[in-house]
Amino acid sequence: MLNLRIIDGYIMGNTNFATMKQRLTFGIFGFIILMMLMGSCSSSETDKRYVPYTFDQNNLDSLVKLKIVILDEVKREDATVQERRYYLGDSVKYILTYNKSAALLNVSKYEGAHEVWTENFYPNGQRMSRFTMFTDPETGASYYQGAYQSYYQTGWLKEEGYYKRDKPFWMLPYTENGLSGDTIFYEYQEAESNSTEPIEIP
């Protein structure tokens, strides 16, 4: 009887130990999965703020070689290229502007006479900013209208916000490692000179 109890006790002890070990294993595994999910969400949010981008002009040039796109160049007096205009059919047009060192400064897309968006670039080719545009059908003037983003030279998002007829309405800044600051809202009031002055609301 004594040996049986010892054996029973030994078996029972092993059973309890196995159960505790199983629970601990599931607990650790669950914790690891939770941390992975949290890390994935954090990484996903950060990745949205890291958007390195350079304009690939080769795509347009390849369409020129295929005679699908018409290219028109504007040169300076020193024969350096100032603008390249790519015409896709009768409605779509891309205008690329360069400095004297042949570095891309700006790309704008047009549909008919209306400017759709414009992008500015750093000397290293990295995108500096992107603005949604609006063209007044009566005057033909273009305005910043809609969402915009600006970027650091490293490709990290610097600012995002919204414009209405060249006036910022809100702006959210970011540090170069992707951390966001406080959103700034703007209100406008008419001055005596009929000009508008922005007021920042923290």
Amino acid at 93: K
Q: Is residue 78 part of a domain?
A: yes
Q: Is residue 39 part of a domain?
A: no
The CATH number for 163's domain is 3.90.930
Q: Is residue 48 part of a domain?
A: no
- Please determine, for residue 1, whether its predicted confidence score (pLDDT) is greater than 70: no
| pLDDT tens digits, one per residue of 58-97 | 999 999 999 999 999 999 999 999 999 999 988 899 999 9
Q: Is residue 111 part of a domain?
A: yes
Q: Which domain holds residue 72?
A: 57-201
Q: Is residue 50 part of a domain?
A: no
> Based on the structure, what is the number of domains in the chain?
1
| pLDDT tens digits, one per residue of 4-14 | 443 344 334 44
Q: What is the pLDDT of residue 182?
A: 92
Q: Is residue 28 part of a domain?
A: no
Q: Is residue 24 part of a domain?
A: no
| pLDDT tens digits, one per residue of 176-196 | 888 889 999 998 887 665 555
Q: What percent of the chain has pLDDT over 70?
A: 70
